[in-house]
Structure 1
Amino acid sequence: MPGSCAVCGQPSSSICGGCKRLFYCSKEHQKLHWMKEHKGCCRAVYKLEQNDRLGRYLIASENISKGDVIFYESPLIVGPKTVTVPVCLGCHNVCNMDNYHECDGCGFPLCSPQCQVSDNHVDECYQMMKSNYRIKMDSKKKKNNDDNNGGGKEIFYFPIVPLRCILLKGKKNSEKYKKIMNLESHYDDRINKPLFDLYKKNVADFIRERLKMDDVDEKEILTITGILDTNAFEIVKNNVKLRGLYNVSSMLSHDCKPNTKHSFLQPDMTIVVTATRDIKSGELITATYTQTFWNTLSRREHLKTIKCFDCVCERCSDPSELGTYAGAIRCSKCTMTSDKNSVENCYVIPVDPLNSNSVWKCMNCQREMSHKQIKMGNDNLKNELTKSNVKTVTGLEEFLIKYGVYENGVLHSNNYHVVQVKHALIRLIGNTDGYTYSDISDDLLDRKIIYCQELLDFVDVVDPEYSNIRGEILNELQSSIVVQTKRQYNNDKITKQEAQSNLQNALNILKQVMEILKFDLNPQDFEKKILSLSKELDEE
């Protein structure tokens, strides 16, 4: 169950309809809590507004403190992404193609016979049976085995979520369908785009012709695909990427420096939206629809292509990206001719960051570069990072040495390519075969700590305080500090007092991580780590 009853603490999935911040296991406990204490404070901390520029949006109706839950919300629909590894349509876990249950009705791979009768799957399965449509498992399984050892991306899932939306119509939960159709689709903006034609072929034509649902209008189906692309949240469940639609959550305005984060509670994927920093009454409540580590060019292109709007937030409007210089490259002319002190300002940034065709100019010598030159350079670096040899710890560090570490590196130390590489490194070092903490050298451990600290400096500007990405980096930092401290103390490189100070620092960080990631990681695991670290601290 996603939450705990506010009265007895038992698992519950029933959300208070008034404040949307509490769970109850029964109506009796909800009434009891209402009479005892909740009556005076049962109200939402947000309200829905609307204007021509933003459409519908949420603002804080009172002051909200960082870490506070703003609301919980159950999904309108959840399902696999359009292109995905094989996923069980019943429980949404990865389907083991060497040992799966073939659905008796439609032939889709499932985890077990129990998943065949899951509420998630029964309606779509019935529709496929009724139209005599069935997945050909032999050819599908062969493709899986030939492609990435059975984990290949499949297009069979393209129409599943749109179909699930359509099948809500006319049922007892048709209110969900009405809420879905009331969300923004940007239909007119999507016509004649390549993705629109892809959806027409793989979704609309499939539903109307293969599933014999010709009573469903093509525009209705393509409106739903637009609604999904505009509003769906990516959900990661047991290493599977899903997507889900939520009504209130879809009203969160986008900002590249948001003031909220969201997490998903299993098993039903209830979303919990929490404040990452203090939000004042009347302030816009925002989320990010793109990637924190991307530069302005990449973020705005993604938002325009998928979400159909031009972002004009503070970060996008600033040529320096709030002083991070996430898109900046070093001016080759200044690097060769300037003295060491002036090289610090020899970075090329856009003159008008809200114009994708803007000229780029060196902050020092005013030398200009075209947007085409910048794009070509970024594309070349992206291509280099996709090479298999660059995906290793050694390959990633060589990329940093080549482009982004030393004084004459091509990229700013916060350039988004560099930042993404450092993020990949802190995930790999200490956590993967051949690079566990017992495997790595002191020097590599020291470098991981530096990478963590540099990433924190970046994140503290663009997604600070209680953001999930900051919590993840802090978690990697504290575990590295513990290992480093033990090594240094055992090798007589630091005193007992210094070791205790370092471990106390790690413990403080771990407690902060537990608070930030309380909805994303198992709290019992954190409690065990805190207890273990506290014990070590006492024994030092």
Structure 2
Amino acid sequence: LAVLMSGLISLHPTFPSLATWEARRGRTDAGSRSDMTDVLEAKLTKRGRFRGDRKWTISQSGTCGRGVFATCDIASGELVFADLPILHGPKQSCDLVACTSCSDITRPLRKCSRNCHLPFCSERCENDESHNKECCYLRSLNLTEEEWSPHIFRALTLIRSLLMTDDDREVVKHLHANRGKQVDIQVSSLLSLLGNKLTETDVSWVRHCSGVLDGTAFEIELEDSANSLKGLFPLSALMNHNCVPNTRHFYTDRADGYRMVVVASRFIPRGEQIFTSYCPLLWGTSLRRTFLLHTKHFQCECERCQDASEFGTNLQAVKCSCEKIMLPEDPTNFNSEWKCEDCGGLRSAKHNIMVQKSLQNPNELDKFLPEGNYIRIQMKIDEVFKKTKRMHLEDITEEELRNISHDCIMILKLIVQLKLGNTRFKGRLCERLSKVYREMNRKGVHMDSQVEHDAVTGARVYNLPK
């Protein structure tokens, strides 16, 4: 929070609203919406991922420009759609360099024997069919690198954008592209690498793709790896953000093309817009909106963001000097004063940011932040997952097991209160709760009836399939 917001506290709140940002995406008439739907349907059909009984359509949203809407009732847990990436590759800002084909970061890397200057972990990966086109292109540029190049590796996603088929380009042309400093930096980095080897048309196309990736790309999480990729999914790119989304998603493996599988996290009635979230769901409003402003260049104004208490959870509340809680008077204004619910005392947003920024000692948290503050919630989550990471929990004391069980139940109730539905995080948390409860049973740990009831309920009701 301190890092993201410290640069904003002196600014006048004139940042673009979600409606303004969506307007920049281009408000389309009925004809162009139909064209967009047709283009995407043709794209998905060609890739073998589209069925005639689709559950979505692209339509105009009252305040959010273009969006994806349900064409039928969709039950919680039901597949909404599966989307293959039209473009994927390393993030340009990534610190880790991995194998170009399999993304493995644990094995030694070597330069492609055909001299395209990309790194590979094995001959098998180097000879992967997916590498052929980019290898031929890079060799045609006659680059002077002697070994494999981390710079070429980090620019690979934009390089791949130059190799798109005409069908893929037609889809990407329909997607919103951000403009700004970050896009300029990425394009300049590629130009410094490839120099005068790109035509004006190439540069224009790369700039558009960079803007599209900046605004609509998703992070592809790789199983059992600290590495991740950036992926552009054509239909998913049209889903709008909401801090109370009605879907969750996961990714299949490389063999299946890194498919993004979107599933309803709660019941979605026909005609309702299909939302995703661009940020972590258990962050407080100020942090979520600041993150969205910096990364997606708009301010969210959803129902949750407009409610200072975030549906009664008081997730971003801080303590007043009278020990009661303070919340912003206007949660959609970064410079709003914060008011105590009891004594009516006021405090500036800048003061609250500086207080949280100075909290270096965990023992100071209780003095300034109530137990339900999102910073303390995140600390509980980190502790739960750290202590239950091992397969067996024999070394965890009975008191620690009780504390973990209590924290799991508290966080699960918070998820319910925030109306977040059956999220992937909820499922992961319930798996840990089930593991803890089994160990408590094995050790014969006594729990009061309410805690035991909550643990059983959490394990049975909230535990989700992958």
In the alignment, which of 83, 96, 109 is matched to residue 100 of structure 1?
109
Hey, what's the Cα distance between the residues in 2 that align with 1:236 and 1:282? 30
Render the CA deviation track for 1:85-112: whole Å, top value 9, x for unaligned: 122111223252xx33321222332121
The answer to whether the Cα contact below 8 Å between 1:83 and 1:155 also exists between their aligned partners in 2 is no
Higher mean C-alpha displacement, 237-246 vs 459-468: 459-468
Q: Confirm whether residue 348 of structure 1 aligns to residue 320 of structure 2.
A: no
Hey, what's the Cα distance between the residues in 2 that align with 1:155 and 1:111? 17
Aligned to 1:87: 98
The answer to whether the Cα contact below 8 Å between 2:250 and 2:260 also exists between their aligned partners in 1 is yes
The answer to whether the Cα contact below 8 Å between 2:100 and 2:153 also exists between their aligned partners in 1 is no
Aligned residues: 418
State the one-letter code of the partner of 1:482. R
Pick closer, same or farther for the CA change 1:471–1:135 going to 2, 3 Å: farther
- Shift of the alpha carbon at 1:316? 0.6
The answer to whether the Cα contact below 8 Å between 2:101 and 2:128 also exists between their aligned partners in 1 is yes
In the alignment, which of 174, 185, 208 is matched to residue 198 of structure 1?
185
- Shift of the alpha carbon at 1:217? 4.4
- Shift of the alpha carbon at 1:312? 0.4
Q: Confirm whether residue 425 of structure 1 aligns to residue 371 of structure 2.
A: no
Structure 2 alignment gaps of length 5 or more = 1-40
The answer to whether the Cα contact below 8 Å between 1:482 and 1:503 also exists between their aligned partners in 2 is no
State the one-letter code of the partner of 2:215. T
Aligned to 1:485: 441
Hey, what's the Cα distance between the residues in 2 that align with 1:374 and 1:504? 35
In the alignment, which of 103, 121, 133 is matched to residue 123 of structure 1?
133
Render the CA deviation track for 1:88-138: whole Å, top value 9, x for unaligned: 111223252xx3332122233212112113244332332222222265549
State the one-letter code of the partner of 1:476. R
Aligned to 1:224: 209
Hey, what's the Cα distance between the residues in 2 that align with 1:503 and 1:327? 29
* Paired residues for 1:446-485 under 5 Å: 446-462=402-418, 464-485=420-441
State the one-letter code of the partner of 1:449. S
- Shift of the alpha carbon at 1:61? 1.3
Q: Confirm whether residue 445 of structure 1 aligns to residue 441 of structure 2.
A: no
Q: Secondary structure at the match of 1:234?
A: strand
Q: Confirm whether residue 415 of structure 1 aligns to residue 370 of structure 2.
A: no
- Shift of the alpha carbon at 1:285? 0.9
Higher mean C-alpha displacement, 267-276 vs 112-121: 112-121
Hey, what's the Cα distance between the residues in 2 that align with 1:374 and 1:157? 42
Pick closer, same or farther for the CA change 1:51–1:454 going to 2, 3 Å: closer
State the one-letter code of the partner of 1:457. K
Question: Cα RMSD between the aligned structures?
Answer: 3.1
- Shift of the alpha carbon at 1:412? 2.1
Q: Secondary structure at the match of 2:376?
A: helix
Pick closer, same or farther for the CA change 1:459–1:134 going to 2, 3 Å: farther
Hey, what's the Cα distance between the residues in 2 that align with 1:50 and 1:206? 40
Q: Secondary structure at the match of 1:473?
A: helix
Aligned to 2:353: 375
- Shift of the alpha carbon at 1:54? 1.6
State the one-letter code of the partner of 2:124. Q
Pick closer, same or farther for the CA change 1:24–1:185 going to 2, 3 Å: closer
The answer to whether the Cα contact below 8 Å between 2:117 and 2:152 also exists between their aligned partners in 1 is no
Q: Secondary structure at the match of 1:298?
A: helix
Hey, what's the Cα distance between the residues in 1 that align with 2:447 and 2:68? 52
Q: Confirm whether residue 280 of structure 1 aligns to residue 277 of structure 2.
A: no
- Shift of the alpha carbon at 1:232? 0.6
Pick closer, same or farther for the CA change 1:203–1:462 going to 2, 3 Å: farther
The answer to whether the Cα contact below 8 Å between 1:106 and 1:135 also exists between their aligned partners in 2 is no
State the one-letter code of the partner of 2:347. M
* Paired residues for 1:34-183 under 5 Å: 42-51=52-61, 53-84=63-94, 85-96=96-107, 99-104=108-113, 105-133=115-143, 135=145, 137=147, 157-168=153-164, 173-183=165-175
Q: Secondary structure at the match of 1:221?
A: helix
Render the CA deviation track for 1:367-393: whole Å, top value 9, x for unaligned: 111121122233334xx4xxxxxxxxx
- Shift of the alpha carbon at 1:298? 1.3
- Shift of the alpha carbon at 1:461? 2.4
- Shift of the alpha carbon at 1:197? 4.1
Aligned to 1:509: 459
Runs of 4+ in 1 over 4 A off after TM superposition: 134-138, 501-508
Hey, what's the Cα distance between the residues in 2 that align with 1:197 and 1:166? 17
Render the CA deviation track for 1:403-430: whole Å, top value 9, x for unaligned: 14xxxx3212221111111111111002
Aligned to 2:365: 403
Structure 1 alignment gaps of length 5 or more = 1-16, 31-37, 141-153, 336-345, 385-397, 519-540
The answer to whether the Cα contact below 8 Å between 1:87 and 1:93 also exists between their aligned partners in 2 is yes
The answer to whether the Cα contact below 8 Å between 1:159 and 1:207 also exists between their aligned partners in 2 is no
The answer to whether the Cα contact below 8 Å between 1:88 and 1:95 also exists between their aligned partners in 2 is no
Render the CA deviation track for 1:227-279: whole Å, top value 9, x for unaligned: 10111111111322111111111111110010001111122111111110111
In the superposition, the TM-score normalised over structure 1's length comes to: 0.71
Pick closer, same or farther for the CA change 1:517–1:137 going to 2, 3 Å: farther
Aligned to 1:303: 292
The answer to whether the Cα contact below 8 Å between 2:409 and 2:454 also exists between their aligned partners in 1 is no
Q: Confirm whether residue 250 of structure 1 aligns to residue 242 of structure 2.
A: no
The answer to whether the Cα contact below 8 Å between 2:328 and 2:338 also exists between their aligned partners in 1 is yes
The answer to whether the Cα contact below 8 Å between 2:250 and 2:261 also exists between their aligned partners in 1 is yes
Aligned to 1:293: 282
State the one-letter code of the partner of 1:103. C
Pick closer, same or farther for the CA change 1:512–1:315 going to 2, 3 Å: closer
- Shift of the alpha carbon at 1:216? 3.9
Hey, what's the Cα distance between the residues in 2 that align with 1:303 and 1:494? 42
The answer to whether the Cα contact below 8 Å between 1:254 and 1:286 also exists between their aligned partners in 2 is yes
Higher mean C-alpha displacement, 371-380 vs 311-320: 371-380
Comparing both chains, which one has the higher relative contact order based on Cα–Cα distances under 8 Å and sequence gaps of 6 or more? 2
State the one-letter code of the partner of 2:170. K
Q: Secondary structure at the match of 1:167?
A: coil
Q: Secondary structure at the match of 2:154?
A: coil
Aligned to 1:4: none
Q: Secondary structure at the match of 1:478?
A: helix
- Shift of the alpha carbon at 1:517? 3.6
- Shift of the alpha carbon at 1:181? 2.6
Hey, what's the Cα distance between the residues in 2 that align with 1:157 and 1:108? 6
Larger Rg: 1
State the one-letter code of the partner of 1:348. M
Q: Secondary structure at the match of 1:75?
A: coil
